[in-house]
Amino acid sequence: MKRFVLVLLAASVIAAFIPNAFAADGKAVSYKSGDETVQGILYTPAGKGPFPGIIVIHEWWGLNDWVKEQASRLADQGYEALAIDLYRGKVGTTPEEAHEIMRGVPEDRAKRDLGAAFDYLASLPNVKRERIGAIGWCMGGGYSLDVALEEPALAADVINYGHLATDPDTLKKINAPILGLFGGQDKGITPDDVHKFESQMKQLGKTIDVKIYDDAGHAFENPNNKTGYRPADAADAWQRTVAFLSENLKK
């Protein structure tokens, strides 16, 4: 994890957060996580539900406009999308600030918040409780894997260049099919790490689909990453995500 954080500091040069026009409107919501109250933004598709649900987990920057846009786009695809806030309202605008905020989040609290997000979506009458997935990027990609490890009822999981696990006793807990999207030039989540994860998952008989974009580095899907954004790879990753979620959440 320490190596991953150092690579994030070195590789992430994101100074601007570009405002976006969201198609699906979001509304602020809150739900209990233990004795605490967590805030989030819920994006609802047009039309009549109930809809599949999806937990949308932010990068180490926090719940900024780019993550909100992803949640809105997912709602446009027909999902009740809950963009969660693991930072309790804080948003980083420099790598140093994002690193400091991320380090201040207790891992057990984050996992509790994720479990509470799953339970909150499952409690909504407009959500198909047996069709809830998770997606995350960077730090959120690692937490997306954690949701799959902690929630046996999770129906689909998308990991975008997030930290991985290879211990078979850990991975055997996963029931959800996994889509993993990674950069071949990522120095933190390396192709070797990805291959080990994929191999172990397959040995355990788990459903997994992995794509490594050979010329991409970390955070290649985010256009705010001025030096590392790969538009063609990002477009392909989105299409793979849309197809994967449709196959597993819209049965």
Please tell me the distance from the alpha carbon of residue 126 to that of residue 171, in angstroms, as a whole number.
31
Per-residue pLDDT at 69: 97
pLDDT at 2 over 60: no
Q: What is the pairing mode between strands 26-33 and 36-43?
A: antiparallel
Q: Give pLDDT tens digits for 172-222.
A: 999 999 999 999 999 999 999 999 999 999 999 999 999 999 999 999 999
Q: Which residues touch 93 (CB under 8 Å, ≥6 apart)? A: 15, 17, 61
Q: Please state the rounded mean pLDDT for residues 121-137.
A: 98
- Tokens for 27? 């509304």
The answer to whether 51 and 26 have CB atoms below 8 angstroms apart is no
Please tell me the distance from the alpha carbon of residue 81 to that of residue 42, in angstroms, as a whole number.
6
Q: Which residues touch 251 (CB under 8 Å, ≥6 apart)? A: 131
- Please give the mean pLDDT across all residues of the chain: 92
Q: Which residues touch 57 (CB under 8 Å, ≥6 apart)? A: 84, 86, 114, 134, 135, 136, 137, 139, 140, 141, 143, 144, 147
pLDDT at 17 over 60: no
Please tell me the distance from the alpha carbon of residue 109 to that of residue 119, in angstroms, as a whole number.
15
Q: What percent of the chain has pLDDT over 70?
A: 91
Between residues 120 and 23, the one the model is more confident about: 120
Other Cβ atoms less than 10 A from the Cβ of 150: the count is 15
Domain locations along the chain: 2-249
- Tokens for 47? 């039309």
- Tokens for 42? 């819920």
Per-residue pLDDT at 22: 53
The answer to whether 11 and 228 have CB atoms below 8 angstroms apart is yes
Which of 2-11, 46-55, 110-119 has the weakest average pLDDT?
Answer: 2-11
CATH architecture of 2-249: 3-Layer(aba) Sandwich (3.40)
Per-residue pLDDT at 23: 67
pLDDT at 21 over 70: no
Instruction: Indicate the residue type of 79.
Output: Y
Alpha-carbon separation of residue 169 from 43, 63, 132 (angstroms): 36, 32, 24
Other Cβ atoms less than 10 A from the Cβ of 187: the count is 15
Which of 11-15, 163-167, 233-237 has the weakest average pLDDT?
Answer: 11-15
Q: Give pLDDT tens digits for 74-128.
A: 999 999 999 999 999 999 999 999 999 999 999 999 999 999 999 999 999 999 9
Instruction: Indicate the residue type of 94.
Output: T
Per-residue pLDDT at 19: 40
Q: At what angle do helices 139-150 and 107-123 cross, to 10 degrees?
A: 60
pLDDT at 11 over 50: no
Per-residue pLDDT at 25: 82
Per-residue pLDDT at 24: 77
Instruction: Indicate the residue type of 182.
Output: F
The answer to whether 212 and 191 have CB atoms below 8 angstroms apart is yes
Half-sphere exposure of 101 (CA within 13 A, CB side): 21
- Position 228 confidence tier, pLDDT thresholds 50, 70, 90: very high
3-class secondary-structure state, position 15: coil
